[in-house]
Amino acid sequence: MTQAAAPHRELGLTDAEYEKIVGRLGREPNALELAVFSLMWSEHCAYKHSRKLLRELPTEGPRVLMGPGENAGVVDLRDGLAIAFKVESHNHPSAIEPFQGAATGVGGILRDIFAVGARPIAVLDSLRFGELDSTRPRFLFDGAVSGIGHYGNSVGVPTVGGEVYFEAPYEHNCLVNAMCVGIAPRERLIRSAAAGVGNLVVLLGARTGRDGIGGASVLASTELGEGDEKRPSVQIGDPFEESKLLECCLELLERRALRALQDLGAAGLSSSSSEMASKGGVGIDLDVSRVPLREPRMEPFEIMISESQERMLCVVEPARLDEVLGICKRWEVRATEIGRVTEGDSLRVFDGDELRGEMPVAALVDDSPLYDLRPERPTEPLYPAPEPSLAGDDARESLLALIGSSNLSSRCPLFQQYDSVVQSRTVRRPEESDAAVLQLAPDGGRGAIAVSIDGNGRRVACDPYAGALEAVLESASNLACVGGKPLGLTNCLNFGNPERPHIAWQLSEAVRGLADGCRGLGVPVVGGNVSLYNEGPEGPIYPTPIVGMVGTLPDPTRAGRLGFSCEGDAVAICGEFAPHLPGGELWKLRGEALPDDLPQVDPAEIRGAQDAVREAVRAGELSSAHDIAEGGFLVAVADCCLAGEIGAALDIGPSDDPLRHLFGEGPGGFVVSGPREALERLAERTPLDVFGTVGGHSLEVAIAGTSFSVELEELRAAHGRLAPAFA
């Protein structure tokens, strides 16, 4: 047998891993067992190159009800309510078939939320594509956005925010990260651990087909190459089936009819059953002949590894089976008893009376190989400099170029494709504020939550530690601008091939930055996802840790806005802000190469500024608040003018480097507006400089003895220049 033909190698297992499987079984695995092991030991399911690193992240806190290891993280809102949230990737499937890849990414993250007993109330997306003037990114972008809108709108969960950026390193390997947030009464929460020997294992939802066989679990564990034909591996979603499944599961949990509930995601029945057994310290017997099939003559191994969508696995006491089946029938959800919880530590797979596979649960889940990374800082640049699109040092021209660029132009036509107000909870729609705000009750009487999602791959590529720490800080700053206090964080780590020393260095440093940022802000990590091997023929993507954060605010009517609103208000910059041009958006437009580091910041100092802004927003003292992010200070001011449809006059004073002051980037700064006396009170808590006034129909800027003015209409035209591309 040639090396290429070895079955375990074709399934992505190394020779050493295969020998370890043989040792755990005490024999050669058969075809079904080998298929199950190959998925359970894949990077996507086993996290074999990242699990050790993830132990560095702080995961405990007084509000944490469920942390990493469950379908979703859950934090306590008090007053009997809990919030569940998680972010996951569907990068490789979306790079193969963007519509279904993105759609089923939304479907999967929704199931993670109601698998813990929470009703999904919001979706946010973090998307990355190659430059829009290239054919492939255009195709991927159009398909992914359509898939997100189709699934979210159809299932009735609002898409309330997100981000999309365009950079050359994502040309062949786009990123589609979806975050979902759900709400639940605490007593309805449920874990996924199988419990009770003799209890029944019941499969809920759609029929099982060949779509998705070896899909997410295999695609997310290998690099994408030219000419790959993997379309049959991409799952196919049905949002209307999901909607029925959601309501059925929530009613079953409301009636306390289930002992455990688990989503069938990557690796299908293989992962859901073995992970439930592992968490419960039990065994499980499954009979694949009972699984409802969409296609005839499916082999047992195909049934075990299919990733067909809209399916859940639950554990039911025998005495309550008829009740469960009755509820499922009323919701028109298929429910089939396919197994039972057993003593011991075995996942046994039967085809009727015939035993087709027997594997130790611990070997599948707990004893998967874990590898030590070999990080090595690169000595040569990993990414080429971008093509320049802006020359010269003219500040006015730079402002118009920045706000019209692909990364900073208006996303309004994109968000208009998503329903952002279904369920009647949305207080702040996309582009109205830095974070989404949702009231907990339709009448607003129980307070609100704020949600943000952030990440900047280019800055992480410059300095993985500082860039990842900045992502945490920016997400918390976005919450502060609407009055939100962070409760917990979820993340999705999108990186290249970790077996390469320079990628291992990026990943290790980024996790260290995330950990230090979370500890500095006192925010626990309650869950997340890792997506590795994101590389195309021309090299790796930018290292892109995505951070999703949830916070709470007491009064939704006082949620902050980013737009200027009151003629005569003072405009100020506040916080610990030290602008830096290298690595920012203006740096990109000028075609400059990435720097090899970023300025280091102290999270404790930035936390103080966030606290001050948050309290001022909650007290109703500020008319607007907007954090300074991509494009720097003047782009943030332009955002405020455009959102409020009102101008401003700024006198910034002397400067030794006007472009750096106007367009430099870094964490910790805020543009705020309000009555002068309110800003004076804010200045008692954090550094603050007043330098302008709201009013008029233009943005007027004076700095270092020079001045310029841009009419709002010209700003709006530049900001909307790419609107047709997003429609």
Give CA–CA dist 550/475, Å, rounded. 9
pLDDT of residue 724: 87
Residue 571 sits at the vertex; the CA angle it makes with 569 and 576, to the nearest 5 degrees, is 145
Ordered alpha helix ranges (H), 115-182: 135-155
Residue appearing with tokens 């025998």:
318
Domains identified in the chain, total number: 1
Regarding beta strands 544-553 and 485-494, do their DSSP bridges make them parallel or antiparallel, or are they unpaired? antiparallel
Residue 651 lies in a domain: yes
Residue 673 lies in a domain: yes
Render pLDDT for 196-237 as a digit per residue (tens, 0 to 9): 999 999 999 999 998 878 544 444 445 544 444 443 457 888
Strand blocks (E) in 276-388: 283-287, 311-316, 335-342, 346-351, 354-360
For the record, the structure tokens of 203 come out as 């499969």
Ordered alpha helix ranges (H), 547-649: 585-589, 603-618, 632-644
Report the chain (727 residues): mean pLDDT per 10 consecutive residues: 68 94 96 95 92 96 95 94 96 93 95 97 97 92 95 95 96 96 96 96 96 54 44 75 97 97 93 96 98 93 94 98 98 98 97 97 94 95 94 96 97 91 91 94 83 97 98 98 98 97 98 98 96 93 98 95 97 95 97 95 95 98 97 98 98 96 97 98 97 97 97 97 86
- CA dihedral for 46, 52, 58, 59, sign (positive or negative): positive
Strand blocks (E) in 206-310: 260-263, 283-287
Torsion of CA 706, 710, 715, 716, to 10 degrees: 160
Cα distances (Å, whole numbers) of residue 725 to 91, 132, 142, 412, 721: 22, 8, 9, 11, 9
Catalytic position from the list 8, 49, 90, 150: 90
Q: Please confirm, yes or no, whether 44 is among the known catalytic residues.
A: yes
Residue 283 sits at the vertex; the CA angle it makes with 282 and 285, to the nearest 5 degrees, is 150
Render pLDDT for 576-597 as a digit per residue (tens, 0 to 9): 999 999 999 999 999 999 999 9
Residue 710 lies in a domain: yes
Render pLDDT for 432-458 as a digit per residue (tens, 0 to 9): 999 999 999 877 677 999 999 999 999
pLDDT of residue 231: 38
The residue range of the domain holding 693 is 561-727
pLDDT of residue 226: 42
Residue appearing with tokens 């611990």:
362
Give CA–CA dist 78/63, Å, rounded. 9
Q: Give every CB contact of residue 138 below 8 A, 6+ residues apart in sequence.
A: 132
Proportion of the chain above pLDDT 90, given as a percent: 90
How many CB atoms within 10 Å of residue 164? 18
Q: Are 658 and 704 in contact (CB under 8 A)?
A: yes
pLDDT of residue 1: 38
Catalytic position from the list 44, 49, 92, 626: 44
pLDDT of residue 79: 86
Render pLDDT for 546-561 as a digit per residue (tens, 0 to 9): 999 999 999 999 999 9
575: left (phi over 0), alpha (psi -120 to 50) or beta: left
Residue 87 lies in a domain: no
Give CA–CA dist 510/15, Å, rounded. 31
Give CA–CA dist 116/571, Å, rounded. 45
Residue 311 lies in a domain: no
Residue 717 lies in a domain: yes
Residue 617 lies in a domain: yes
Q: Are 83 and 65 in contact (CB under 8 A)?
A: no
Residue 307 lies in a domain: no
CATH value at residue 715: 3.90.650.10
Give CA–CA dist 455/469, Å, rounded. 10
pLDDT of residue 220: 43
